[in-house]
Amino acid sequence: MRFLAVLFAVLAFCAPAQAQLSIEITAPGVQRIPIAIVPFAGEGALAPGITPIVRADLERSGLFRTLEVPPLSPAPTEASQVNYAEWRSRLADAVVLGSVAARPDGRFEVRFKLFDTVKGVDLSGVAFTLSRQQIRTTAHRIADFVYEKLTGEKGVFSTRIAYVVKRGPKFELQIADADGAGEETALASFEPIISPTWSPDGRRLAYVSFENKKPVVYVHSLVDGKRQVAANFKGSNSAPAWAPDGSKLAVALSRDGGSQLYLINPDGSNVRRLTQSSGIDTEPVFSPDGQSIYFTSDRGGSPQIYRMPAGGGEAQRVTFEGSYNVSPRISANGKSLAYVSRNGGKFQVSVLDLATRQVQVLTDSDKDESPSFAPNGRMILLATVIGGRGVLSAVSADGRIKQRLSMSAGDVREPAWGPFIQ
Partner 1 sequence: MRSAWIVILAAALAACSSTPDDEQAPAGVEERQPGADARPGAQTQPVTPGGVARVDIGAGAAGAAALKDPNNILSKRSIFYEFDKFDVRDEYKALIEAHARYLRDNPRAKMLIQGNTDERGSREYNVALGQRRSEGVRRMLVLLGAKDDQIEAVSLGEEKPRAQGQDESAWSQNRRSDMLYSGEY
Pick 58 or 340: Cβ nearer partner 1: 340
The β-bridge partners of 386 are: 389
Q: Does 421 bind partner 1 (CB under 8 A)?
A: no
Instruction: Tell me the CB-side half-sphere exposure of residue 301, using CA atoms within 13 A.
Output: 3
Nearest to 328 by CA among 309, 305, 358, 311: 305
Least spacing, CB of residue 7 vs partner 1, in Å: 9
Pick 120 or 182: Cβ nearer partner 1: 182
Give the three-state DSSP class for 26. strand
Pick 111 or 220: Cβ nearer partner 1: 220
Q: Which of 65, 203, 255, 335 binds partner 1 (CB under 8 A)?
A: 255
The answer to whether 233 touches 247, Cβ cutoff 8 Å, is: no
Give the containing element (helix H, strand E) for 228: strand 227-231
Least spacing, CB of residue 273 vs partner 1, in Å: 9
In whole angstroms, what is the distance from residue 397 CA to residue 56 CA?
21
Residue count, binding to partner 1 (CB under 8 A) = 73
User: How big is the chain, counted in residues?
Assistant: 422
Q: Which of 6, 45, 121, 386 binds partner 1 (CB under 8 A)?
A: 6
Q: Which of 66, 195, 365, 396 binds partner 1 (CB under 8 A)?
A: 195
Given the rule CB under 8 A, which of 16-24, 29-37, 121-129, 268-276 is the region that contacts partner 1?
A: 268-276
Pick 84 or 324: Cβ nearer partner 1: 324
Give the containing element (helix H, strand E) for 9: helix 2-13
* Near partner 1 in 308-367, by CB under 8 A: 324, 326-327, 340, 342, 347
* Near partner 1 in 276-315, by CB under 8 A: 276, 278-283, 296, 303
The answer to whether 195 touches 284, Cβ cutoff 8 Å, is: no
* Near partner 1 in 375-414, by CB under 8 A: 388, 414
Q: Does 199 bind partner 1 (CB under 8 A)?
A: no
Nearest to 351 by CA among 310, 314, 319: 319
In whole angstroms, what is the distance from residue 123 CA to residue 115 CA?
5
Q: Does 13 bind partner 1 (CB under 8 A)?
A: yes
Given the rule CB under 8 A, which of 74-82, 87-95, 118-126, 189-197 is the region that contacts partner 1?
A: 189-197
Q: CB count, 10 Å around CB of 180?
A: 20
Pick 4 or 85: Cβ nearer partner 1: 4
Q: Does 271 bind partner 1 (CB under 8 A)?
A: yes
Q: Which of 80, 228, 265, 287 binds partner 1 (CB under 8 A)?
A: 228
Buried b (16+ CB within 10 A) or exposed e, 334-345: eebbbbbbbeee
The answer to whether 328 touches 283, Cβ cutoff 8 Å, is: yes
Least spacing, CB of residue 260 vs partner 1, in Å: 8
